[in-house]
Amino acid sequence: MRVRLSLRRDADRPTRSRLLPLSSVMAMVVAVLTVACSAHGGGGEAGGSCAIAATYGGRTYTQVANVDFTVGKALGTAEFPPCDDTPGHNDDAVGTEPTTAYAVGGLNPRIAIAVRYTSDEVMLLAVQPGGSLPPEVKALTRG
């Protein structure tokens, strides 16, 4: 069966404009841009963020904020795992980032270590079983 399409308009049918009002067009543009930016991690709040953590000696240590401590001798190599907090990017392909683990004055390295996070920042990381700080580390926290 053959079908023929005619592009000619019937003279007796009223014509209607197919243009949308400017406000509708702008609303659609904003919606598309918002979705596109959110999908690429570029708009508003971040899609997620990774906790600062490192592995050393087969244990995982996470950051402890607001703590006074003394950095001791170098213990060996710790590793920061990759952080997959950006949707659409394969951050796991980057691999781990090595850093030096340091002893913390008065604490067993099985409980806490210190690592250099930036050139001028050393932070305390502790094993936190069940999400709670070991009492030895809790005693060092400020407030």
Q: Summarize pLDDT for 36-72 with one digit per residue, the tens.
A: 333 333 443 344 577 789 999 999 999 999 999 999 9
Q: Is the domain of 85 the same as that of 122?
A: yes
Please report whether residue 78 resides in a domain: yes
Residues 90 and 30 placed together within one structural domain of the fold: no
In a domain, 2, yes or no: no
> Is there a single domain that holds both residue 58 and residue 124?
yes
Asked whether residue 130 falls in the same domain as residue 82, the answer is yes
pLDDT computed for residue 96 by the predictor:
84
Q: Is the residue at 14 inside a domain?
A: no
Short-list 17, 19, 44, CA closest to 30? 44
In a domain, 6, yes or no: no
The CA-CA-CA angle for residues 113, 119, 120, to 5°, reads 80
10 occurs within a structural domain: no
Whether residues 134 and 87 share a domain: the answer is yes
Q: Is residue 7 part of a domain?
A: no
The count of domains in the chain is 2
For residue range 6-43, what is the model confidence (pLDDT) as tens digits? Answer: 444 555 555 454 554 544 444 444 443 433 333 333 44
**Maximum pairwise Cα distance, the chain:** 94
Give the distance, in angstroms, between the CA of residue 52 and the centroid of all CA atoms in the same chain. 10
Is the CB of residue 74 less than 8 Å from the CB of residue 102? yes
Same domain for 72 and 31, yes or no, is no
117 belongs to a structural domain? yes
**Do both 29 and 69 map to the same domain?**
no
Decide if 27 is inside a domain: yes
pLDDT tens-digit profile of 86-120?
666 555 556 889 999 999 999 999 999 999 988 88
Same domain, 79 and 107: yes
* Whether residue 127 sits in one domain with residue 108: yes
- Spell out where 25-70 has E strands: 53-56, 59-64
* Domain range for 90: 53-138
